[in-house]
Amino acid sequence: MRYKTGLLPAALAAVVALAGCGGSGDDAGAEQGAPAKLTFAIASAVIGPKEEVAVFAVAKELGYFEEEKLTVETINTDGSVAALQAVASGSGDVTAADTGSILGATEKNVPVKAIGGLVQNWPWVIAVKPGSTIAGGGDLKGKKIGVISLASGSAPYARAFVAEAGLDPAKDVELLPVGVGAQAAAALNDGKVDALALYTQAYTVIENAGTTLTYLDNPDVFDGIRSLSFAVGARTLEEKRDVYTRFLRASYKAMLFSAKNPEAAMRIGYKVFPQILAGKQADAQIATDTKVLTAWLKTATPTTGTPEQWGDWGAISDQEWAKTQAYTKQAGQITGDVELGKVWEPGLLGAANQFDKAAVVDKAAGYTAK
């Protein structure tokens, strides 16, 4: 969910020359089903209860990666652009990056490709202090909007939000980096910014800490836009299709488990990433962190039905791609339509969805994390 609109060409130009390198794994050209190593580039500098828990930690701890004969390590990057740099240059193999950033990179001929969706329900929203005179996008004229960073997906979202209200995002508002959590809450409470542009999970963290917020309604234009998607290096895709398919399968199994039992997933997250606790006791944090993880999972799973009924993990329809491209253009991340075949390879999803979903749900329902 991180993106730096103005720096995309410069930030990624250097990696085009490096992109001929293979990924960090040593499985290139290996036979189908052979053991492989992958590096998962997490598009965040801070470990928190989101994809690093629901995807990586759960898949690692429950043996889903091991079942696929995968050894997966993680690196942290400062936003989606940096994560895509890692994938394009070969220092990473796969990432969950902002779909708009993937489109922007593809337009600039950076060899990355989306292979499956992750966050499917639009997570971004504008928040203000209760009693604020700001009730809609038009009221933001002359105001300061706090974004995670100028490399974050919150920046193009904020620009698109005010543009939809008829304002000029380059002249009528000022975007200020405020980070997330206590830092973002302080910026709003102290009057350094008039509004925040964050994702729902980040707001859950702020509210859990005692700050009350009022949210502005998103215009209908944001319905159906995709946020995070899994991306890999385009030049290694064909030789590593089987490896990436196995990664997706393990990841979607982990997502299903997490959606069914988010508390167990959160406790697993503590075990794999103890830094999430920041020295605190798990029992003291579990209720709050489970609420935060659940908020993220709501953006990454279908809005209707139950985990037992969900299927077609990772699918992105042509209509969703069209809406995402339209938003990405409005946000200034791309200048024109990107040919879908250059940015999207859905051919791995059929095999990635071939797992016993009932068995995963049953395991989650009866699982007690220690």
| pLDDT (tens digit per residue) in 260-283 | 999 999 999 999 999 999 899 999
pLDDT at residue 48 tops 80 = no
Residue 370, domain member (yes or no): no
DSSP 274-313: GGGGTT--HHHHHHHHHHHHHHHHHHHS-SSS-GGG---T
- Are 67 and 173 members of one domain? no
d(CA 121, CA 299): 5
Q: What is the arrangement of strands in the sheet containing 94-98, beginning at the earlier edge strand? A: 70-76, 36-42, 94-98, 228-233, 112-117
**Where does a domain end: 180, 206, 222?**
222
Same structural domain for residues 352 and 230? yes
* 209, pLDDT greater than 50: yes
Q: What is the average pLDDT across 225-229?
A: 94
Query: What predicted TM-score, i.e. pTM, was given to this entire model?
Result: 0.84
CA distance 322 to 328: 10
The residue among 219 and 4 whose pLDDT is bigger is: 219
Query: How much is the pLDDT for 45?
Result: 60
The CA–CA distances, whole Å, from 11 to 41, 85, 149, 234, 275 equal 17, 8, 15, 18, 29
- pLDDT attached to residue 95: 97
Q: Is 1 inside a domain boundary?
A: no
Q: Are residues 22 and 87 in the same domain?
A: yes
Render pLDDT for 117-167 as a digit per residue (tens, 0 to 9).
999 999 999 999 999 999 999 999 999 999 998 877 889 899 999 999 999
Query: Are both 207 and 111 inside the same structural domain?
Result: no
Confirm if 145 and 196 have CB atoms less than 8 A apart: yes
| Close Cβ partners of 205 (under 8 Å, ≥ 6 residues apart) | 48, 180, 181, 292
Q: What is the mean pLDDT of residues 171-186?
A: 95
The verdict on 115 and 230 lying in the same domain is yes
Residue 242 is assigned to a structural domain of this protein: yes
Q: Which of 203, 222, 241 is the last residue of a domain?
A: 222
Average pLDDT (322-351) is 94
Structure tokens at 345: 């390879």
Domain-embedded: residue 70: yes
Domain extent, residue 180, equals 124-222
Which of the 8 DSSP states describes residue 169? T
In a domain, 341, yes or no: yes
List the single range of 21-25, 294-298, 344-348, 349-353 with lowest mean pLDDT: 21-25
- pLDDT > 70: what percent of the chain? 91
Residue 20: pLDDT above 90? no
pLDDT above 50 for 46? yes
Question: Distance between alpha carbon 75 and the CA centroid of its chain, in Å?
Answer: 15
159 within domain boundaries: yes
Residue 7 banded pLDDT, cuts 50, 70, 90: very low
Per-residue pLDDT at 313 exceeds 90: yes
What's the CATH code of the domain at 231? 3.40.190.10
Q: Which of 222, 256, 287 is the last residue before a domain boundary?
A: 222
pLDDT confidence of residue 74? 96
When the pLDDT of each residue in the chain is averaged and rounded to a whole number, the result is: 90
The pLDDT, as a whole number, for residue 14 is 42
192 CA to centre of own chain: 27
Residue predicted with more confidence, 118 or 368: 118
pLDDT at 4 over 80: no
Q: Is the pLDDT of residue 2 over 70?
A: no
Confidence of residue 361 (pLDDT cuts 50, 70, 90): very high
Q: Which helix (H) or strand (E) holds 323?
A: helix 318-330
Residue 369 pLDDT:
74
- First-to-last alpha carbon distance for the chain, in angstroms, is 31
Tell me: do 101 and 194 sit in the same domain: no
- Give the chain's domain count: 2
Distance CA(46)–CA(273), nearest Å, equals 11
